Amino acid sequence: MGHGDVQRVVDRLAAELARSVVVDDPAVRPLCTSPHYGDEDEVRVRAVLQRDPGPDAVGHVLAQGVTTWTRAGVVPARPDIGMHRRVCAPVRYRGELLGLLLVMDADASVTDAEVLAVEAAAREVAAWMVGERRADDAAALAGESLVAGLVARDAHERGTALAGLRAAGALPGEGPVVATVLAVSPDAAPFDREHARIALRHALADARRGLRGPALTAVRDLCGTLLQSGPGTADTARAAALAGQMVAAVVRVVYGRIACVAGLGDPVDRVEDAWVS
């Protein structure tokens, strides 16, 4: 990118403003953070320590419509989750959203001139991020397409996915495999498809971190897929509880604007039979 170039922009802006700064990806996961400037809140501390601000904070940021912004705006405070007000500038390159640059503004004292500096920094960050981000996204989307292909109805697509994952060394080992599929749909207008996909990714990532065995995840269109294997996989009660947790995580991130349901398959012996599950 390099990552160090973005970090230098973040650190310089933070020093100029004497405020804490972070660059997040479009899913509000931190990529680069500045040192604290005495203005940190509970959400920022969690994000720095866990690399995740939590579903309530993510949902609050996305609920402001930040993925559609073209200029800097304000993310209001959420005292109930320990979150101060922030100024947020979209990091875009030729219209494509690469991330979000957020500056702490607990007392609403950021000036118009400072907002312009934040927007200028966001443009500089975009120039550094664009090349690496596109390469990373292309690789991630290719991998997700293969994982989603494992549960496709079309036999040819399943075969291609199986061969691709096997060649990449990404298939789980022997043992029971269970497929869980999450599906989202509008529960209130307006319906933000990108917000829905981000919520699915957060729920799948949280679930994957809590599993003891191997897992594969994918988001395609408005569906999320989790394929889990290893210890405890055949425990249907445990799998059902995890599915419920994922649905709850999606609902928290989408702020109740989008409905989510989960489909849970029975354990199967081989990953190539996951589509039956």
| Structure confidence at residue 4 (pLDDT) | 80
Question: Domain residue spans in the chain?
Answer: 3-139, 171-273
Q: Give residue-wise pLDDT tens across range 166-195.
A: 888 888 776 789 999 999 987 666 678 888
Q: Give residue-wise pLDDT tens across range 72-87.
A: 999 999 999 999 999 9
Share of the chain above pLDDT 90, in %: 60
pTM recorded for the entire structure: 0.75
| Structure confidence at residue 188 (pLDDT) | 62
Determine how many CB atoms are found less than 10 A away from the CB of residue 186: 14
Cα torsion 49, 202, 245, 145: sign:
negative
**Which of 212, 186, 23, 218 lies closest to 102, judged by CA?**
23
CA distances from 154 to 113, 148, 160, 172, 272 (A): 56, 11, 10, 21, 12
Q: What is the mean pLDDT of residues 230-244?
A: 86
| Structure confidence at residue 193 (pLDDT) | 84
pLDDT above 80 for 58:
yes
Phi (first) and psi of residue 27, to 5 degrees: -90, 10
171-273 shares the fold of 3-139: no
What's the CATH code, domain 3-139?
3.30.450.40
CA distances from 55 to 59, 222, 235, 252 (A): 6, 18, 27, 6
Q: What is the mean pLDDT of residues 118-145?
A: 78
| Structure confidence at residue 115 (pLDDT) | 98
CA distances from 153 to 150, 157, 159, 160, 200 (A): 9, 8, 11, 13, 21
pLDDT above 90 for 233:
no
Share of the chain above pLDDT 70, in %: 92
Topology classification of domain 171-273: Alpha-Beta Plaits (3.30.70)
